[in-house]
Every structure is written in C-alpha cells, then in structure tokens.
Structure 1
C-alpha cells in the first residue's frame, strides 16, 4: 500500500495509450451537421491525462504510435505544447491513421463520433515498450482502449510486466468504449484481466457493472477488486459522486456542480487531478475531490486538453465555488 502511494508521489508518470485529434464546432451549442467553423485540439484519453498532469505541475511521458503524416505530427506537437515527453511517440507509415473525435459543446442531444478504423496507436509493439526506462518513472497509467486490439494489447500487458519488475504501481482507467472491441465477451475478459493486475483502478458504475456481467453488481465488483488485488478502487457514479475503496475504508465523495457545456473529458481530467493530488501529499479523500473539481472545470469549457485546468485555474475554481455536494 505504501509503495503505491510513494510511487505516485514521485509525480512522474509513464502513460501508455493513444494521442489523436479532436474536432468540435464553434460556437458552443452548434450541431456538427450545422457547423461552419471547427476548432481542433489534442485528443485521446491517454494523451489528455498526460496533458492534464503536466498542466497541474506533474511530469508525464506518452508511449504510443501515431500516423506518419501531418495529423500524427499535429498530435505530437500538441503533446510537446503541454509539456508531455513525446520521445516514445513513434510514427508509423502505411494506411494506419490517428484517431479522430468529432463532438459537440452541448449537453442536450450531444453527438460524439469517433473514427478508429486502422488506428495507428493499435500498432504499438513490444519493442516500443522495451525502449522505455521504467525505473525512471514513479507510476504507469493506461486507459482500457489500448487493450481492444493487438499488437497494442500484448504490448500493454508487456508494459505492465516491465512496470511491475521496476516496482512501479499500475493505474488503470477502465475506459470501456464498445465501438473499439470485437465483442462484449472479449472486452469483459481482457479488461478484467487488466484490472486484476492493477494497483489503482478507476471506472464508472457502468464500466464496473460491465466487468461484473451485471450493472447492479458493479459496486460489489469494485469492492471485491479492492479486497483481492488493488490498493485503490474508485467507483464513479456521475452526479452522485464516487465511492473509493482503500484498505478497510469506503470513502464517499460528492461533486462540484457546474453549468456543463459538454460531457467529454471529465474522466481524463479526474485522473490527472487525483494522481497529482496524491503526489502533492493530499489524503485520498482530498485527492478524489481534487479530481472531481478538475472534471467540473473541464466539462464547463470547450475542448478536452485545452479545457483542463492548470494549477492557478484550479485554485481559483476552488476558491470561488461553494464546495462539493455531500456524499
């Protein structure tokens, strides 16, 4: 338990997963099909987590593959813009392409379309992982999408083994995206295997319910993982807050209500806020609330990586917000 926290406290994370491009119509509220002007930003859950950590004063390096074209170079340049170490971002040629997300800055009838055909990041190889000096980092983070296809799946499990050998805790965001998987059964089996190897697991009620095979069993699934293998398990319930299992503790936390502009980016920002909170020496209750505050800031602005708070923005938000809902 101490090793997990001490690893996170180094505030230096190696992150495995995709970087892509986000498009969203401007001004906010515009439907995609009615759009004339579209804004672009960094996309991809792992890339967003990496950017969010850097914006909050931490260090992160992303391990992935990008298309060897202008879009891949855009994603890499954006990573560097946010201070992410992109030395393990490897271009790949041929017909592989970066992922593209087109989503809207609106809540009502929100539309989000993800293009993942022939995704470059799914071509991550074990050799890419072998090039990483895991001992120079404090913890490994990944999101579930990396496991949806090989060779990325095998490469990421290889990264888990390398991280464990180097003494790094593994932080796993379940991040179940049905469109990426060949079947529900494969997704359930693989994500459950990844969760069993992880020290910190973060997911929402639907994701834990999916792994359990029944939505109503999701909370018990989270509880059982905390008892059997993981040190920290965070079970998120949207507007109802979260239940975090840590040792014998069940920590219940609320959310910071805001006027949301969109639903996207909340989970990535939550992860960045939580791990940098632990890194700053906060107890787990405070770190979870910090993650919740980061999520609220992010959904109240356009974009994902651009909307994630830096340290000053987060401090100003907390200073001017009446506080979280009761758990």
Structure 2
C-alpha cells in the first residue's frame, strides 16, 4: 500500500491514452439531430483525466498520437490550455483520424455517437512510450481503450514494464468501450491481463462483471483482484456509490446527488479527484468521496474536460452540498 500511496502523493502523473474532440449541441437539452449550434471541447478518457488532475493542482503528461491535421492540433492546444504536458503527444499523418464524440447535454433519451474509424491514438507504438523519462513521475495511469488495438496495446504493456522498472505504481481505469474492440472475448482476455499487472484498478459494476463473465460476478472479481494482485480496487455502482477493497478491508461510500445534465465525464473526473485528493494527504475514504464530488460537478455541466472542477469549485461544492448519501 505504501508504495502506491507514495507514488500518487508525488502528484505528478504520466498518462497513456487518447485525446479527442467532443461536440455537444447548445443549449443544453437539445437533441443532436435538432442542433443548430454546437460547442467543442477536449475529450478522450485519458486526456480528460489529465486535464482534471491539472485543474485540481496536480501535474500530468499525456502519451498518445493525434492526427496531423486541424483536429489533432485542436486537441494539443486544449491539452496545453489545461496545463497538460503534451511533449509526448505525437502527430501522425495519412488517413488516421482523431476520435470524435458527438453527445447531448441531456439525461432523458441521451444520445452519444463516437467516431473511432482509423483512430490515430491506436497508432501509438513502442517508440512513443520509450521516449518517456518515467523517473520524472510518481505514477502511471491508463484507461482500457488503449488496449483495444495494435500497436497501442503492445506499446502500453511495454510502458507498464518501463514504469515498473522506474518504481512507478500503475493505476488502471477499466473504461470498457465495446465499439473499440474486435470482440468481447478479446476485450475480456486483454483487460483481465492488464488488470493483473496493476496496483490500483477502478471500474464500474458492468466492467468488472464483463471481465468476470457476468455482471452478477463483478463484485467477486473486484474482491479477487484486490486479494491477488492489486493493492486497491474501486468498484463503482453509479447512484449506489462505491465499494473499495484495500488492505483486506471494504470501504463503502455514497454519492453527492445533483441534478445531472448528462451522464458523460463522470468516471474521468472521479479519477482526477481521487488521485489529487490522495496526493493532498486525504485518507482513502475521503479521497473516494472527493472523487465522487468531482463526478457530480462534472455531470451537472456541459462538456467533459470543461465541466471538471478546479480546486476552488470542488471546495465550494463540498462546503455547500448537504453531503453524500449513506453508503
């Protein structure tokens, strides 16, 4: 436990995975097919986590590939806007394209369309991860989509090995997106292999259930991982809160209810809040609750990275909110 916590406390993270562009219709509540005005924002799970960490006072560098075009340059500019180190973000030409998410700021009949054909980030290779000086960071974070295709998959496993050699703990957001994978069987095998190499695993009930072969087996899978490989496993249950397995104990936490505007961005914001709260000296239960608060702030506003709280926004939210639900 101490190596993992000490690594996070450095509050300097190398994050492996995609950056993308988000489009969402304005004003809030507008269906995509009825939209006339659309706003853009930074997207992609790993980029969102990096932006969220920086907004909360941490430091983060992203390792990925982006398309060598205006959309790729937009993503790099947005990363820099949030203070993310983009030195390891490499443009790639040809027909490879950045991912694009078109979604709605609405809960009822929410629609989200993801374009991932010929994704530029899947072209990240071993040379990209070997360019990183891992000794500059306290921990490595990645989200599961990086494993969905080659050469990104092999490159990320190589990054795991390099990070371990440098003494970094590995933090894994399962982030299962079926549309990115060739088959559920491949996804289950690869994500399970990745999870077995990680010190901390964060996922929801469906993601752990997927790895276990059934949602009803997900909780047992999370507990098993905490007993066999990972030091901390966070099993998220949406509105029912989370169960965290650590040091043989179970920590049950609730959520901060809000009037949600949309469902996207919550998991990325949770991770950013969890990491920076541990780095700031919070105990694990408090850090999980602060991560939950970040998720609540994010779903109550349009966009993903733009909606994530900075430190002052988070502290104001916590001071003004009546508190989390019972575990």
TM-score tier, shorter chain, comes to over 0.9
Partner SS state of residue 54, structure 2: helix
1:251-297: per-residue Cα shift (whole Å, max 9, x none)?
00000000000000000000000000100010000000000000000
| Post-superposition offset of 1:213 | 0.4
Give me the whole-angstrom Cα distance separating, in 1, the residues matched to 2:102 and 2:291. 25
Structure 2 gap ranges (5+): none
| Post-superposition offset of 1:248 | 1.4
1:173-195: per-residue Cα shift (whole Å, max 9, x none)?
00000000000000000000000
| Post-superposition offset of 1:249 | 1.1
Structure-1-length-normalised TM-score: 1.00
Matched, 1:315 2:279: no
| Post-superposition offset of 1:168 | 0.2
Structure 1 gap ranges (5+): none
Give me the whole-angstrom Cα distance separating, in 2, the residues matched to 1:8 and 1:139. 6
Give me the whole-angstrom Cα distance separating, in 1, the residues matched to 2:85 and 2:174. 24
State the match for 1:134 in structure 2.
134
Matched, 1:144 2:144: yes
State the match for 2:121 in structure 1.
121
State the match for 2:229 in structure 1.
229
Equivalent positions of 1:1-327 (< 5 A) are: 1-327=1-327
Partner SS state of residue 263, structure 1: coil
| Post-superposition offset of 1:112 | 0.1
Partner SS state of residue 244, structure 2: strand
Partner SS state of residue 292, structure 1: helix
Give me the whole-angstrom Cα distance separating, in 2, the residues matched to 1:290 and 1:315. 9
Give me the whole-angstrom Cα distance separating, in 2, the residues matched to 1:41 and 1:239. 26
Give me the whole-angstrom Cα distance separating, in 1, the residues matched to 2:207 and 2:20. 23
Partner SS state of residue 306, structure 2: coil
Give me the whole-angstrom Cα distance separating, in 2, the residues matched to 1:248 and 1:234. 13
Partner SS state of residue 306, structure 1: helix
Say how many residue pairs are matched.
327
Give me the whole-angstrom Cα distance separating, in 1, the residues matched to 2:141 and 2:249. 23
Structure-2-length-normalised TM-score: 1.00
Partner SS state of residue 307, structure 2: coil
Give me the whole-angstrom Cα distance separating, in 2, the residues matched to 1:22 and 1:234. 27
Give me the whole-angstrom Cα distance separating, in 1, the residues matched to 2:5 and 2:298. 26
1:48-95: per-residue Cα shift (whole Å, max 9, x none)?
000000000000000000000000000000000000000000000000
Give me the whole-angstrom Cα distance separating, in 2, the residues matched to 1:245 and 1:309. 26
